[in-house]
Amino acid sequence: MSGSTFGKLFQLTTFGESHGAALGGIIQGCPPNVTLDFEQIQAVLNRRRPGQSALVSPRNEGDVVEFLSGIYHGKTTGTPIGFILRNHDQRPEDYEQLNTAYRPSHADFTYDKKYGIRDPRGGGRSSARETVCRVVAGAIAEQLLAHVGITFSTYVDQIGSCRFNSTDFFSMAHIDQSLVRCPDSITTEQMVDLIEQTRAQGNTLGGAIRGVIHGVPAGLGEPVFDKLHAELGKALLSINAVKGVEFGSGFDAIEMTGSMHNDSFTEDFNTTTNHSGGIQGGISNGMPITYRLAFKPVATIMQTQTTINSEGERISLAPRGRHDVCVVPRAVPIVQAMAALVLLDAYLLNKRLSL
């Protein structure tokens, strides 16, 4: 399978399936002599793991990362960093009915058509469990970027019809006070109520995540085809269930005039507004990078659905397994990880990273 490697200089290759023995990755291009904070890496993984609250999937995976290579006495050696995360709470029997059935809005049909074979256990390689490897690499990238003052704020700003309108920078501690990782307490209560109501109906919800990145210097991004927002867009759209990404004013720019949308410069080379979202001409301009991405509702619902099998026969599919009503809160560290991977790669390409 191609398409399992991300990045140009700081590269991540991942492997593994949802209910296989383990998932893992190989990181190439990490600078040597970097002291890693392993507790911080595990803390980021804990933010993504299932079973962390009553609102998410009860699958009980510790998601403890084991580093196999590329690190000596706590420092990177410059050689490939290999790591694995073992699966412990597999229930392949939950997916026996899916050996020939195609679940609505899943990758079952498309994987069969592409490869002629698929792993039906939790979606196999198409499962969002694969993203645990991205979080490991993203946590390392974020530590490297912290040396040059780049910081991230990523939070839920909408679940279903409940929305919190903000482009402010919130600390991780503030965000994690909320069960749904929304930095506003009133909106959090509304989101929690909506999730619980939707679960009682056996249904699921979508939502949106806001990202704000501070400390990005002007000059990152490679025109013409490798624009910074194009690279971020690809990274974010590669996350399971993401259906759209916008930067700065995004689709709101449609209803604005040029005089309303233009970001005027100040004498210190900042801008009075940030409709560009920190990127102009595909290159960072020194202002905060702001983006927002939309997630579709979880495809697995706790309701009987009509579908077809591999013979094209219409069948009835009963719900089984352990699934989130809304994946958006758990996706926050995944989104931040992918943004960090892109920014670190852009730094290395620009030859500005000095540790």
Give per-10-residue mean pLDDT for the chain (355 aa).
90 92 96 97 92 62 91 98 88 69 89 88 84 97 97 98 96 97 98 96 97 97 95 97 98 97 96 98 98 95 91 86 88 98 96 54
Q: What pLDDT is recorded for position 19?
A: 82
Which amino acid is residue 327, in one-letter code?
V
> What span, in angstroms and rounded, lies between the C-alpha atoms of 328 and 345?
26
Residue 60 CB neighbours (<10 A): 11
Length of the chain measured in residues: 355
Q: What pLDDT is recorded for position 232?
A: 98
pTM over 0.95: no
Phi/psi at 200 (5° precision): -60, -25
Q: What pLDDT is recorded for position 122?
A: 73
Identify the residue whose tokens are 């990181």.
27
Q: What pLDDT is recorded for position 57?
A: 63
Dihedral of alpha carbons 326, 338, 210, 37, sign = positive
Strands 101-102 and 305-309: antiparallel
Check residue 124 and give left, alpha or beta (phi > 0: left; psi -120 to 50: alpha).
left
Q: What pLDDT is recorded for position 242?
A: 98
Q: What pLDDT is recorded for position 343?
A: 98
* CATH class label, 5-350: alpha beta
